Amino acid sequence: GAVVSQHPSRVICKSGTSVKIECRSLDFQATTMFWYRQFPKQSLMLMATSNEGSKATYEQGVEKDKFLINHASLTLSTLTVTSAHPEDSSFYICSARVLAYTQYFGPGTRLTVL
Amino acid sequence: AQSVTQLGSHVSVSEGALVLLRCNYSSSVPPYLFWYVQYPNQGLQLLLKYTSAATLVKGINGFEAEFKKSETSFHLTKPSAHMSDAAEYFCAVSDPGNKLVFGAGTILRVKS
């Protein structure tokens, strides 16, 4: 099946620093990837849609200057949390669309900002 | 706009008992529906999907779901629960823009 990886799986950083999270499709090419955020005991919230070779589309209320998304190749999308603060601590999950309407998810990245 | 309602944030069953997780959807177009499972501190794994073919969909790990248009439902079932089924389950519907709209999730507990 379609495999999506994320790196790192867990990161702890100091407030004010930037953190980059990578999302890779390992055995397929993904023109579209998605980034989600999940707070404890809550469902997934879509942050943005990442399209290869073009700018990401952000959901309402998501700061595009804070959450920078780059989709430079058909197998890699990156999410950079800039000037991270404690309220950015969360579980970030990416997904890649394989077929129309079907998304496969990465294992997630736990971000803790001190 | 598409939306998903999962009835019951927590469901507890005994090992070997029937598992029934409820999902109702709202969609302005013929829906594409999904069930995902999430284990603690992990991503989501696709259990099964309905994409307008057979209304009874069989998935992995013995799970299946039936699409009922008249009831706008897509409930997930498994005849006999295993301890390894304990996890959180999410129902989702795809909107016309191919984005997934998730329900709030149901935590399944399996008692020995």
Contacts of B86 (CB under 8 A, 6+ apart): B108, B109, B110
The pLDDT of residue A11: 97
Chain B contacts in chain A segment 7-46 (CB below 8 A): 32, 34, 42-44, 46
Residue B8, sorted as left (phi over 0), alpha (psi -120 to 50) or beta, turns out to be left
CA distance A89 to A92: 9
Q: Which of B43, B94, B104 lies nearest to residue A93, judging by beta carbons?
A: B43
pLDDT digits (tens, 9 = 90+) for B48-104: 999 877 889 999 999 999 999 999 999 999 999 999 999 999 999 988 777 899 999
Q: What is the mean pLDDT of residues B12-28?
A: 95
The pLDDT of residue A38: 92
Sheet order of strands, A19-25 included? A4-7, A19-25, A76-81, A67-73
CB–CB of B35/B89 below 8 Å?
yes
The pLDDT of residue B74: 96
User: Confidence class of residue B4 from pLDDT cuts 50, 70 and 90?
Assistant: very high
The pLDDT of residue B61: 94
The pLDDT of residue B20: 98
User: Confidence class of residue B29 from pLDDT cuts 50, 70 and 90?
Assistant: confident
Residue A14 neighbours by CB distance under 10 Å: 8
Residue A40: closest CA among chain B residues belongs to which residue? B41
Chosen from A102, A104, A109, A110 to mutate, greatest number of chain B CBs within 10 A = A102
Residue B9 neighbours by CB distance under 10 Å: 12
A6 interfaces chain B, CB cutoff of 8 Å: yes
Q: Spell out, as residue ranges, where chain A has pLDDT lower than 70.
A: 1, 100
Q: What is the mean pLDDT of residues B7-18?
A: 96
